[in-house]
């Protein structure tokens, strides 16, 4: 797989990464550990070098899983993890105090079985802690050799600028896909100006853009999508026209809707690195295959024209979580 540079940071990763959250958290029961380790190592064999986790995914279980899976391959991969929730639990609220950032870094290093975190994201901007204190704390961790690069997640343009002025931000991780294009308004131009890479999570719309989910799909009772407005049965039915569009384009190119959705993201900017997640080897292979699909200017124009007629229904987060994004 080709590699990409995340902005001007000097951090180079595979064009597609692997979002590992779903192996432990968020979409129902955790994947059997042996199967999860097999999938992660298979990703490395297929050219994936960029792996995303967080203390909050479990909490802690996902970092432990990656530590075990990747410790024999540590020199071949880039590992990103995150701080920013109290006790690693989103339900307890935000906590980016310097003492917490340091404690999370030390604990994450142990769980990941490594001596350095390649990319350390602030999971969400904490309005109770000045962003310059957050960036300054990560800067100290970088000077101590415990962290290599600083990242932010779901941050707004102003917060990105303020943080970047203290410690260069290597990458922003936020949701971005064919059915959530809000970052194009102010965030992407800011990243381009400052030389910051962009790591879209949920690049397949939490599975919806694969074409395998419709209004009749039922989710496990522990699946986060049960409380996401965009995944109500009514909204899934209303949003099916977007999947129909992808399916038509995929058929013309002997590809899958998921591959077209990922190829579209890769075509946006050379410093965009999507991190699709999966628990299945077949889906991993399908996603990796998207890196070989090149969409030209005419393809992108066709997609954009068709998208202009699609009015995506439903918020991407429950109301109580909306206040944590784009700060």
Active-site amino acid positions = 57
Cα–Cα nearest to 117, from 158, 160, 87, 74: 74
Place of tokens 């940071």: 9
Cα–Cα nearest to 138, from 107, 169, 115: 169
Instruction: Please state whether the peptide bond connecting residue 59 to the residue before it is cis, i.e. omega within 30 degrees of 0.
Output: yes
Dist. CA 232–CA 18, nearest whole Å: 27
Dist. CA 29–CA 233, nearest whole Å: 22
Strand positions, DSSP E, the chain: 3-5, 12-14, 18-19, 50-52, 78-83, 117-122, 147-153, 169-175, 197-201
Dist. CA 141–CA 317, nearest whole Å: 32
Burial bucket for residue 29 (CB in 10 Å: 0-12, 13-18, 19+): exposed
Which residues lie closer than 8 Å to 5 by C-beta, 6 or more apart?
11, 12, 197, 270, 271
């Amino acid at each position: 797989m080709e590699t990409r540079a995340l902005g001007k940071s000097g951090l180079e990763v595979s064009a597609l990464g692997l979002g590992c959250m779903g192996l432990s958290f968020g979409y129902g029961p955790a994947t059997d550990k042996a199967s999860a380790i097999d999938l992660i190592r298979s990703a490395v064999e297929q050219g994936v070098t960029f792996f995303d986790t967080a203390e909050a995914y479990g909490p802690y279980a996902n970092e432990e899983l990656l530590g075990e899976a990747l410790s024999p391959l540590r020199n071949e991969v880039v590992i990103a993890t995150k701080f920013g929730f109290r006790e690693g639990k989103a339900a307890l609220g935000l906590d980016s105090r310097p003492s917490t950032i340091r404690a999370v870094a030390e604990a994450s290093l142990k769980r990941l079985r490594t001596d350095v975190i390649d990319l350390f994201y602030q999971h969400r901007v904490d309005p109770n802690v000045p962003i310059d204190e957050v960036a300054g704390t990560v800067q100290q961790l970088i000077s101590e050799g415990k962290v290599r690069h600083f990242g932010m997640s779901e941050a707004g343009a102003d917060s990105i600028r303020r943080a970047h002025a203290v410690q260069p931000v290597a990458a922003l991780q936020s949701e971005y896909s064919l059915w959530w294009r809000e970052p194009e308004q102010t965030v992407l131009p800011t990243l381009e100006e400052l030389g910051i890479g962009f790591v879209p999570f949920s690049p397949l719309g939490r599975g919806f853009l694969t074409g395998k989910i419709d209004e009749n799909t039922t989710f496990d009772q522990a699946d986060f999508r049960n409380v996401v407005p965009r995944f109500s049965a009514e909204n899934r039915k209303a949003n099916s026209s977007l999947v129909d569009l992808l399916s038509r384009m995929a058929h013309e190119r002997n590809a899958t809707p998921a591959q077209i959705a990922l190829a579209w993201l890769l075509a946006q900017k050379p410093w965009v690195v999507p991190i699709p997640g999966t628990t299945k080897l077949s889906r991993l292979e399908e996603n990796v295959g998207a890196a070989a699909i090149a969409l030209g200017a005419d393809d992108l124009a066709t997609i954009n024209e068709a998208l202009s007629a699609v009015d995506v229904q439903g918020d991407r987060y429950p109301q109580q979580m909306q206040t944590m994004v784009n700060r």
